[in-house]
Structure 1
C-alpha cells in the first residue's frame, strides 16, 4: 500500500470511530499506535524502537511520563504526547513535552489526539521546545503539501536534518494558511477593513463595516468556488482528451451506449464545494479497495457522478445535491439500477460505506470493458 493510501485508510478509521472513543487509552490503541506503526513504520512492540510510558526524571517532576518515545540508534528522536480523540489540542497539554525536550536528544515533539498531529522543534531557542508547531497534520483535512515532510520522519527514510531545515518555512507558511482559512470562515474587523478601504471611497463608519462584513464573506466564498472550478476545468482539459470532428463525435455516440444525462453536460454546470466534499467522502471509503487516484468524478446538470477509472460504465455513486429541499445519494445494484437514499447531512454517506465498497469490488471481480 502506498504511503498516501495508508494515510487515507487511517483517516477513514478516525472519521468512522472518533465519536465512539471515550478514553485516552482507547485513542492510543485505535489511532495513535497505528499511526506510529503503519504511517511512520516503527514497531510499537519493539522497545528498541518505541518506548511507551517513557520516563526521564526532570527536576522536581520525578516519575512523569511521556506517552511514547521513538528511538533510533539507542537515542530518543521523537517524543509523542497523546490526548483523547474528542479533546481539542492546547499548548497546556504539552507540559511534559516541554520538560522532556530539554533533557533528551529529541529534536521532534508531537502532541496529538489521533486526528490532529502537531509537530514541534526548537527553532526559537536551542534545546527548548517552541510554543507553536512547525507542522500541523489533520487527518480529516489533509494538506497534501505536508505529506513529503511527514515521510521524512518515517523509519525507512528518516531525514531529521531535512525536516529541521524546512521547519521554519513550514511553520510560518502553515500559520499564514490557517489564518487565511479562518478569515474566509469568520472575517475579523481588520480583514473587513482591509478590503473595504480598497473598494469604498468614503469614510468607513460602523454602519459601513456592518454592511461590508457579509459582502467580504460572500466574496471569499465565491472566490474559493471559482478557484475549485478552475482547477477542475484545468484537470479535465489536461486529461488527454483530443479534439474530434462533429462526424467523429456522432460516430462515437452511436458506437457506445452513454447515459442520457451525461449528454446533457454543458458549460452551465456548476460544481459546488458540497459536491466536492461528498466526493472526497466516497473516495475515502472506496480507497480501502483501490488506489484513490482510480476514483474519478464527473459533474452533470442533474447529478454529480463518482466513477471507477473515470469510466461511465463503472458508476460507484451519484450525488443528487441540486435540490434545495432534499439531497440524495444514488447507489447501484448488480444490474446498475440506481436507488436513491435520502441524506440529512454529508456524514450520512458513511452509513452506506459497505454498498460503496461492494460496488467497487464488483468491478474488480468482473471487469467491465472500457
Structure 2
C-alpha cells in the first residue's frame, strides 16, 4: 500500500512539472531519482546508487551509464535516462552495449515517465531486444505495481525476478498479438475457426466472409464478458444490500415490546405530564432495555426500564447522564421515584 501511494504521488508530481522540465539532467533529478528513492535505495549513498557508472567497452574508454544500483557491492540494475519527451525506441542499442560490461542482470531504460526493464532471457549476458516489464508511471495498474515491488530494496531477489521475467515477457507479447487479432483477424486465425465450422471448401471468398464474422464474434464475446462481470458486480452489491436489510429486519424482529413495558411508560408519562407536554415523552424499545426519551432525542434520556430479566429495574439519570439502576418489586414502584424523574427533566430544561 505504501509503494502504490508513493508511486501515485510521484505520478502526480510528474504531471504537474513535466512542462517545466527542459533538459535530460532535470528529468533525472525531478523524475528518475525520486523513482529510485521510492524503490528504497538511498540516492545520496554512492555505494547504493552510483551516478555516471563506468561501462567501458573494449578499447573504448570513458563510457558511462547514468546510474547503477548496487547490492552487496555488485551492480544489480543499470539505468539509462533520457529527456521525458524523447522516444525510447532509438536508445536500446546504447543500453545494450553497457549491459554486457557491467555484469548486471537487469537494465532500465527510462525517460522518467515510460519505464522499460530488460534482462538476458534469450542469450546469457546479452540484453534482450524486448523488455520484460514496461509501463507508463502516470497510468499504473495494480498488477504492474506488484511487479515494480519486486525491485524494491527490501524485496529484491535476482533469481525470482529472472524466473518471473520470462512469464511477463511472453505474456506481454501474447496480449499484443491478441490485441492485433481483435482489430484485424489474420488469415491463419480465420482459417482455423472457419475450418472447424464450415463444411465446404475454404475459398478466398469464404475466408473474406469469415474474417468479418470472426471479428464480430470476438467483439461480441468481449462485450458479453464485460456485461457479465458488470452484472455480477451489480448483483453482488444488491445481495449485500439485501443481506444488510434482512439483518436489520431480523434485528428489529428480536425486539418485543411487552404490555408491562407500556404500563411502565404510562406511569412515567403520568408523573411527568405535570411538568412537560405529553407529546414530548417518547419511548424507544431495544433488545437491552425499554428507553424513555425527551423530544425523541437519544441525548435526552429520561429513564430506562429493565424488565426482561429475572429482576426489574428502573434506570435513572443524573446531570452527567450517568445511569443508576433502582430495584423494582413491581412496576408500580416507579411512582416512588417521582422526584428523581422530575429532576431529570429539569436538567434538560436548563440546557
| 1:224 equivalent in alignment to 2:240 | no
CA distance in 2, matches of 1:111, 1:189: 36
1:181 aligned partner: 179
CA distance in 2, matches of 1:75, 1:248: 60
2:88 aligned partner: 89
User: What SS does structure 2 have at the residue aligned with 1:227?
Assistant: helix
User: Which of residues 105, 114, 117 in structure 1 aligns to 2:115?
Assistant: 117
2:163 aligned partner: 165
Structure 2 contact 41–49 (Cα < 8 Å) conserved: yes
Give the 3 Å change call, closer, same or farther, for CA 86–214 of structure 1 in structure 2: farther
Paired residues for 1:1-370 under 5 Å: 2-14=2-14, 23-38=23-38, 40-90=39-89, 92-239=90-237, 241-243=240-242
Q: TM-score, normalised by structure 1?
A: 0.57
1:154 Cα deviation after fit = 0.5
Q: Alpha-carbon deviations, 1:220-270, whole Å to 9, x = none? A: 3333333333333333444571536999999xxxxxxxxxxxxxxxxxxxx
1:22 Cα deviation after fit = 5.2
1:130 Cα deviation after fit = 2.0
Give the 3 Å change call, closer, same or farther, for CA 52–248 of structure 1 in structure 2: closer
CA distance in 2, matches of 1:209, 1:21: 52
1:7 Cα deviation after fit = 2.8
Q: Alpha-carbon deviations, 1:265-284, whole Å to 9, x = none? A: xxxxxxxxxxxxxxxxxxxx
CA distance in 1, matches of 2:244, 2:8: 41
Give the 3 Å change call, closer, same or farther, for CA 236–13 of structure 1 in structure 2: farther
- Compare relative contact order (CA 8 Å, sep 6+) and give the higher one, 1 or 2: 1
Structure 1 contact 21–86 (Cα < 8 Å) conserved: no
Q: TM-score, normalised by structure 2?
A: 0.59
Give RMSD over aligned pairs. Answer: 3.4
Structure 1 contact 51–69 (Cα < 8 Å) conserved: yes
User: What SS does structure 1 have at the residue aligned with 2:77?
Assistant: strand
Is the deviation greater in 149-158 or in 25-34? 25-34
Give the 3 Å change call, closer, same or farther, for CA 188–78 of structure 1 in structure 2: same
CA distance in 1, matches of 2:88, 2:208: 33
1:196 Cα deviation after fit = 4.3
CA distance in 2, matches of 1:237, 1:148: 29
CA distance in 1, matches of 2:18, 2:204: 43
CA distance in 2, matches of 1:183, 1:9: 36
Structure 1 contact 81–111 (Cα < 8 Å) conserved: yes
Give the 3 Å change call, closer, same or farther, for CA 237–105 of structure 1 in structure 2: farther
Larger radius of gyration: 2
User: What SS does structure 2 have at the residue aligned with 1:53?
Assistant: strand
User: What SS does structure 1 have at the residue aligned with 2:6?
Assistant: helix
Whichever structure has more helix as a proportion of its residues is 2
